[in-house]
């Protein structure tokens, strides 16, 4: 069993789905490698898809900060929490994940408005709260699964748009279910 776990870990390391060091970059270069903190399970197919989407969301945030003059030396996904939404059917469903990450600036950055800091690292939270990523999956009948990235939403939108009495009544009192169903419906 131990040997199998070591082989699995080696395969994950080689595939880039678990933590890796970010190389030193040119000060003007935007980093492209995003590590995932130890303890975040990415070996299940659905978590691998969520991790890939999360990496792209964090990479976009790094590019945005870079364009505004804040160069990032290291980026790490520190949390990827699957939310209970009750939106899974027999052959398809919607998965919603709370995304947490930390970005380390190359230089001691001035703590500017709109950024939330955890010590010397920028966090995922902003004026809209924490981000959530939404994915749709469809089992194809041949053993394969098709994953579709639906959207990125945030805590504020979930609370204000999907946490209303009307939405809660419509979706059994769960704002996450309301967010999944409504946001997915908007993309169809």
Of 151, 155, 153, the residue nearest 135 (C-alpha): 151
Q: Annotate 129-160 with DSSP letters as a single string.
A: BSEEEEEEEEE-SSS-EEEEEEEEEEHHHHHH
pLDDT at position 63 over 60: yes
User: Model pTM?
Assistant: 0.77
Q: Domain boundaries in the chain?
A: 2-187
Which of 24-33, 50-59, 122-131 has the least mean pLDDT?
A: 24-33
Tell me the per-residue pLDDT of 40-60, one tens digit each, with 9 for 90 and over: 666 566 678 999 999 999 999
Cα-Cα end-to-end distance for the chain: 44
* pLDDT at residue 17, rounded to an integer: 42
Higher model confidence: residue 21 or residue 97?
97
8 A C-beta contact, residue 93 and residue 59: no
Q: Quickly state the pLDDT bin for 24 (edges 50, 70, 90).
A: very low
What the block records as the tokens of 52 is: 């890939």
CB under 8 Å to 12, separation ≥6 — which residues? 18, 42, 43
pLDDT at position 177 over 90: yes
* pLDDT at residue 13, rounded to an integer: 35
Q: Quickly state the pLDDT bin for 9 (edges 50, 70, 90).
A: very low
């Amino acid at each position: 069993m131990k040997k199998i776990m070591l082989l699995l870990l080696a395969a994950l390391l080689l595939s880039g789905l678990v933590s890796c060091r970010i190389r030193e970059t040119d000060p003007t270069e935007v980093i492209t490698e995003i590590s995932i903190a130890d303890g975040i399970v990415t070996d299940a197919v659905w978590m691998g898809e969520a991790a890939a989407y999360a990496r792209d969301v964090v990479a976009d945030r790094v590019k945005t900060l870079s364009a505004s003059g804040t160069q990032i030396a290291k980026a790490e996904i520190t949390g990827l929490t699957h939310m209970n939404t009750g939106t899974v059917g027999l052959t398809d469903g919607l998965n919603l994940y709370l995304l947490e990450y930390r970005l380390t600036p190359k230089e001691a950055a001035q703590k500017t408005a709109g950024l939330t800091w955890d010590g010397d690292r920028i966090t995922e939270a902003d004026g809209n709260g924490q981000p959530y990523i939404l994915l749709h999956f469809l089992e194809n009948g041949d053993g394969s699964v098709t994953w579709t990235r639906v959207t990125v939403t945030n805590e504020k939108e979930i609370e204000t748009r999907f946490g209303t009495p009307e939405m809660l009544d419509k979706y059994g009192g769960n704002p996450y279910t309301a967010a999944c169903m409504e946001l997915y419906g908007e993309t169809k």
